[in-house]
A and B are shown apart, each in its own frame.
Chain A
Amino acid sequence: MTTGRDRIRLRKPTASSVALDLTFLALVGLSVFGFFAIDTKGLKTGPAAAKLLSDLVKMFAHPVAKHFSLAEAIWAMLLTLGLAFLTTLLGAFLAIILSSFAAKNLSKPAVSNALKLLVAFVRAVPTILWVLIFAIGAGLGSVAAVVGMTFHSFAYLLKAYSESFEEVGGDVVEALKASGANWTQIVCQAVVPSSMSYIVSWTFMRFEINFANAVAMGAAAGAGGIGYELFMASGFYFNIGEVGFITYLILFVAILLELGAMRLKARQHVQR
């Protein structure tokens, strides 16, 4: 019999759950306070909202391509996709070689830990910052974008690959070691094939991330492609319709990528 007073709790409050609750409350409080504390500088909320709505309608209901033809837009999109593809490929190549040194079951603890620490640091710095850092040497442009994006992709994929190596490889590594196979043979014949499905999904996921990055790099780092057109349309020609057009184009490609990812996953499930 439970009365209202002493109900059965499913979880006991722990130090971390209390901290989480307090953080959540603080964030809610700050959000509410922030909303009232905004200095609108005499901006009237009503007319401003109406203007925003009309601009959004113009952007998405009347997309136009004025400063470029459709062919040029597609070309720019291909350029962006190319940047994403190239950086994913380079990053994946480097990561697959080094991740066998980072996996605990294939490497010495010192080497593994050092590598993992290094890539944790590389991952902690956002891609765009790496691009800007490499821009110091290479100048702002496609070279800095390729190097910076490759660098971050490599760190991301190294973590993903080495963890799947650790998860999947264990048993087979033991078996092949016991039969006298050497390290390289074990990695190539057992570890990589066992984790192939993980490798494929992680790489594709990174490709999707890199597509978004490549759009941003076009705008922010002058790497060209569709991002650059978006930047020009919004910040240079102030053509809202063109911004809408480019956004639709990017959305379309992103949906295609998502569909591709889903099919890939479905196929692997069937194979399992």
Chain B
Amino acid sequence: MAILTIKSLTKYYKDLRALSEVSLKVKAGEFVTVIGRSGAGKSTLLRCVNRMIEPSSGLIEFDGIDMRSLGRRDLRKARTRIGMIFQHFNLVPRQTVIENVLHGRLGYKSTLQGSFGIYSDEEKSHAVDVLARLGLAEQMHKRCDQLSGGQKQRVGIARSLVQDPRLILCDEPIASLDPSSAKTIMDHLHRISRDMKITILMNLHQVDVAIKYSDRIIGIREGGIVFDDEPRRLKKKIVAEIYGSDADDILFEESPE
């Protein structure tokens, strides 16, 4: 069953068409990566899903909800079920790890409780569990500005997990990490999609990483989908088409037929 259906999604920034007539379906629990050169419209696509960017036209259906029809209150409610992970982690540096993780619960709370940071015991123990699963139990009370990049990204993952999401959007989650932390992060995200049946929609710059982890790869070029299939179908020629003239520099192993 499709958890996310996008039909004829188009986005204009003034005169610039960033997305044109994009249509795709993502099945529940699927791990989908979006590749494309810089400026192709990957971030725009991702952010249209939770309407952090307002689409110009088209349909976005998440978990049976028509996202574009929602008012502000309902949109916030829908967003609680969509986690988001960022290249620069987007944590509050001066707060502790556990405080940052609990921010993921704000959407479920009343204004007053949320504003004063009052969380129930269940929420707190859930946060502790999630942190332990990501190997951050020891760091719980550290301030986030004392963590390494890889640890910060794991806090970001934890924050989205306590949202109890059905879908996690990842905008270049490993772009500012060293290769070993990047692998840890990808392994965690892979486990999350496999074991918790949470759908992952991720933008990536590394084609080899996309091939290794994804169930499906979507290639976009100049705002349109040019490839949408299993990783093993991604051939040199198609990569060249997605990346244009930059393709020579791209490292990846074509899978044997």
Contact = CB atoms under 8 A, between A and B. Distances in A.
A271 B142 CA distance: 12
Contacts of A272: 145
B84 interface: yes
Nearest to B162: A179
* Size band of the interface chain A makes with B: 20 to 34
Given A179-B104, A194-B94, A189 B117 contact: yes
A174 B107 CA distance: 13
Given A174-B86, A179-B79, A194-B94, A185 B111 contact: yes
B11 to A, nearest CB: 17
Nearest to B111: A184
Interface string B148-181: 0000000010011001000001000000000000
A178 interface: yes
A148 B89 CA distance: 44
Contact of B84 (A178, A185, A189, A194): A178
A193 to B, nearest CB: 5
A29 B76 CA distance: 65
A30 B10 CA distance: 64
A182 B115 CA distance: 9
A177 B52 contact: yes
B13 interface: no
A185 B103 CA distance: 9
B115 A197 contact: no
Given A177-B52, A190-B92, A182 B111 contact: yes
B90 interface: yes
A194 B92 contact: yes
B84 A179 contact: yes
Contacts of A176: 103, 106
Contacts of A175: 84, 86, 90-91, 103, 156, 159
Most B-side CB within 10 Å, residue of A177, A178, A182, A189: A178
A209 interface: no
B100 to A, nearest CB: 9
B50 A178 contact: yes
A182 B145 CA distance: 25
Contacts of A182: 76, 106-107, 111, 114
A180 B76 contact: yes
A247 B116 CA distance: 45
B94 A180 contact: no
B80 interface: yes
Contacts of B106: 176, 179-182, 185-186, 189
Interface in B106-160: 106-109, 111, 114-117, 143, 145, 156, 159-160
B25 interface: no
A188 interface: yes
B255 interface: no
28 contacts: A171-B90, A172-B90, A174-B52, A175-B84, A175-B86, A175-B90, A176-B106, A177-B52, A178-B50, A178-B52, A178-B169, A179-B84, A179-B104, A180-B79, A181-B76, A181-B106, A181-B107, A182-B76, A182-B111, A184-B111, A188-B115, A188-B117, A189-B114, A189-B117, A193-B92, A194-B93, A196-B94, A272-B145
Given A180-B79, A190-B92, 15 more contacts: A174-B90, A175-B156, A178-B82, A178-B169, A179-B79, A179-B160, A179-B163, A180-B78, A182-B114, A185-B109, A188-B114, A189-B114, A189-B115, A193-B94, A196-B94
